[in-house]
């Protein structure tokens, strides 16, 4: 595995030009399938997908400060935040300089914060901008996909005579669900960095250390290896492991505590991982070991079902129901306890695996999908365990990308 901070030109493990071109091809295929003349991407990850560009993380999601128009033919048009466009022109030679233009901050929370009158004026300006670009491309009468359902944006675009479809969101997710070999390498890199974070956790774990100190050491490990952490990474211990708080409270960790961490939304080159491991400060109790063994069995059975042609139901059937596992009346009481989801640029991409939806509405598993499967259980003594693997679906069966040992709880001696 190459370094996160340095690559060489004589190894072709990861080719960024090939990565971008493959993403463009997948997005263009979705335009064809959905009869779109173009897609307007206002989601930050979709904008990265169709332009190969990236700016600060606070623009990820629907902030409205940058967006892109991806036409059926020709290069994408990027509407960049302010004078960041100068840097984008400098460092993104695959985009024609004239196709990088200032964004109108119309959609999302930024324009809303300016007040309703300013917001409406901005929306009108954005709609006129997009109409004019489509007219220049000869696409003004074609169907326009958009990846956000904001009623203000939709109304403004419709008011200038455009035929707008919110199916653009589903189209972009469909483009992103199959990972190219280069995308897999990026995810693989994120998992290697995740393992360095678990090593930092293990080295930090001693009686009296706080969850937040452990978390800080893990994040330091991520950034020194070229990663970013986008709204993610948790460390939990003792009573917040059952149920799973999914947040870091900052308690002091003591002997006998179970500790688990998730390095979710740790990303490298914009590709994320989601990856739980369980640790014990001192030897765990036998009841906790039994809980771990149950969770591990469910997980391994789920992984074995990750084969092309199977469905998300085939995976979900390997997990007990929420009632069988914990006596809950329905699956919504145990949401995300026994769970699976695609990973890529975003933490949640197709397919979602959960008994609450997968039993009645299964999705077909396809070669090239990358899925994170996660299971947990409780020991009846007030503590829990949780584990997760990232799995690539291949023609030859599941390939587990995550490598931190999983056969037993990772014990840290006192």
Tens digit of each residue's pLDDT (9 = 90 or more) over 308-337:
999 999 999 999 999 999 999 999 999 999
User: Which residue has better confidence, 57 or 106?
Assistant: 106
Q: Is residue 11 a part of any domain in this protein?
A: no
- Same domain? For 112 and 242 the reply is no
Q: Is residue 63 a part of any domain in this protein?
A: yes
CB of 394 closer than 8 Å to CB of 369: no
CATH code: domain of residue 65: 3.40.350.10
pLDDT given at position 10:
61
pLDDT given at position 63:
73
Instruction: Assess whether pLDDT exceeds 50 at residue 177.
Output: yes
Task: Give dist(CA 271, CA 253) in Å, integer.
Answer: 31
- Among residues 144, 176, 208, the one where a domain terminates is 176
CATH code: domain of residue 296: 3.90.230.10
Q: Which domain range does residue 68 map to?
A: 16-176
Which residue blocks in 327-411 are alpha helix, DSSP H?
355-358
pLDDT given at position 220:
97
- Same domain? For 94 and 215 the reply is no
CB of 264 closer than 8 Å to CB of 344: no
- Among residues 176, 205, 223, the one where a domain terminates is 176
* Predicted confidence band of residue 59 (pLDDT cuts 50, 70, 90): low
Instruction: Assess whether pLDDT exceeds 70 at residue 395.
Output: yes
pLDDT given at position 110:
75
Q: For residues 158, 104, 52 and 137, what is the CA-based torsion angle, rounded to 10 degrees? A: 50
Instruction: Assess whether pLDDT exceeds 80 at residue 56.
Output: no
50 burial class (0-12, 13-18, 19+ CB within 10 angstroms)? Answer: buried
Strand partners, 100: 78
Mean pLDDT of 291-300: 98
Strand partners, 75: none
- Same domain? For 132 and 229 the reply is no
Q: Is residue 286 a part of any domain in this protein?
A: yes
Instruction: Assess whether pLDDT exceeds 70 at residue 9.
Output: no
Q: Is residue 66 a part of any domain in this protein?
A: yes
pLDDT given at position 301:
98
- Same domain? For 245 and 355 the reply is yes
- Among residues 130, 148, 176, the one where a domain terminates is 176
- Same domain? For 146 and 112 the reply is yes
- Same domain? For 356 and 299 the reply is yes
The CB density around residue 203, as the number of other CB atoms within 10 Å, is 12
Q: Collapsing DSSP states into helix, strand and coil, what is residue 114?
A: coil
How far is CA 148 from each of CA 55, 67, 118, 259, rounded to the nearest angstrom? 19, 11, 20, 38
pLDDT given at position 2:
42
- Same domain? For 53 and 138 the reply is yes
pLDDT given at position 109:
72
- Same domain? For 327 and 249 the reply is yes
Instruction: Assess whether pLDDT exceeds 80 at residue 286.
Output: yes
* Mean pLDDT, the chain, whole residue set: 94
Q: Is residue 365 a part of any domain in this protein?
A: yes
Q: Is residue 4 a part of any domain in this protein?
A: no
- Determine which of 123-127, 182-186, 200-204, 227-231 has the lowest per-residue pLDDT on average: 227-231
- Same domain? For 355 and 218 the reply is yes
User: By percentage, how much of the chain surpasses pLDDT 70?
Assistant: 95
- Same domain? For 377 and 358 the reply is yes
- Same domain? For 380 and 343 the reply is yes
Q: Is residue 295 a part of any domain in this protein?
A: yes
Tell me how many domains the chain contains.
2
CB of 89 closer than 8 Å to CB of 100: yes
Instruction: Assess whether pLDDT exceeds 50 at residue 4.
Output: no
pLDDT given at position 3:
46
Mean pLDDT of 183-188: 96
Q: Is residue 84 a part of any domain in this protein?
A: yes
- Same domain? For 165 and 22 the reply is yes
């Amino acid at each position: 595995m190459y370094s996160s901070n340095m690559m060489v030109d004589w190894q072709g493990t990861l080719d960024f030009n090939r990565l971008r071109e493959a993403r463009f091809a997948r997005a263009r295929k979705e335009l064809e399938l959905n009869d779109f003349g173009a897609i307007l991407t206002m989601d930050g990850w979709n904008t990265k997908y169709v332009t190969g560009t990236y700016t600060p993380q606070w623009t990820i999601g629907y902030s409205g400060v940058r967006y892109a128009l991806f036409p059926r033919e020709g290069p994408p048009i990027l509407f960049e935040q302010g004078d960041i466009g100068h840097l984008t022109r400098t460092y993104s030679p695959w985009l024609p300089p004239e196709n990088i233009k200032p964004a109108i901050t119309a959609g999302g929370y930024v324009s809303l914060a300016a007040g309703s009158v300013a917001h409406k004026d901005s929306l009108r300006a954005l709609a006129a901008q997009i109409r004019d670009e489509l007219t220049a491309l000869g696409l003004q009468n074609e169907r326009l996909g958009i990846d956000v359902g904001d009623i203000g944006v939709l109304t403004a675009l419709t008011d200038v005579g455009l035929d707008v479809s919110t199916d653009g969101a589903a189209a972009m997710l469909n483009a992103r669900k199959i990972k190219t070999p280069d995308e897999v390498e990026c995810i693989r890199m994120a998992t290697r960095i995740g393992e360095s974070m678990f090593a930092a956790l293990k080295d930090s774990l001693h009686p009296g250390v706080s969850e937040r100190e452990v978390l800080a050491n893990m994040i330091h490990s991520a950034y020194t290896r070229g990663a970013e952490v986008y709204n993610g990474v948790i460390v939990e211990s003792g009573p917040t492991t059952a149920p799973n708080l999914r947040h870091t409270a900052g308690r002091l960790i003591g002997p006998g505590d179970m500790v688990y961490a998730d390095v979710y939304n740790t990303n490298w080159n914009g590709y994320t991982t989601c990856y739980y491991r369980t640790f014990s400060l001192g030897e765990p109790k036998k009841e906790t070991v039994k809980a771990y063994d149950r969770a591990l069995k469910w997980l391994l059975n789920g992984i074995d079902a990750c084969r092309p042609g199977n469905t998300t139901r085939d995976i979900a059937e390997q997990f007990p129901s929420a009632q069988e596992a914990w006596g809950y009346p329905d699956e919504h009481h145990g949401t995300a306890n026994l769970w699976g989801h695609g990973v890529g640029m975003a933490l949640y991409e197709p397919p979602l695996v959960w008994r609450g939806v997968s039993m009645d509405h299964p999705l077909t598993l396809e070669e090239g999908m990358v899925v994170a499967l996660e299971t947990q259980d409780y020991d009846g003594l007030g503590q829990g365990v949780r584990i997760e693997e990232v799995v690539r679906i291949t023609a030859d069966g599941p390939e587990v990308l995550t490598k931190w040992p999983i056969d037993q709880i990772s014990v840290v001696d006192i």
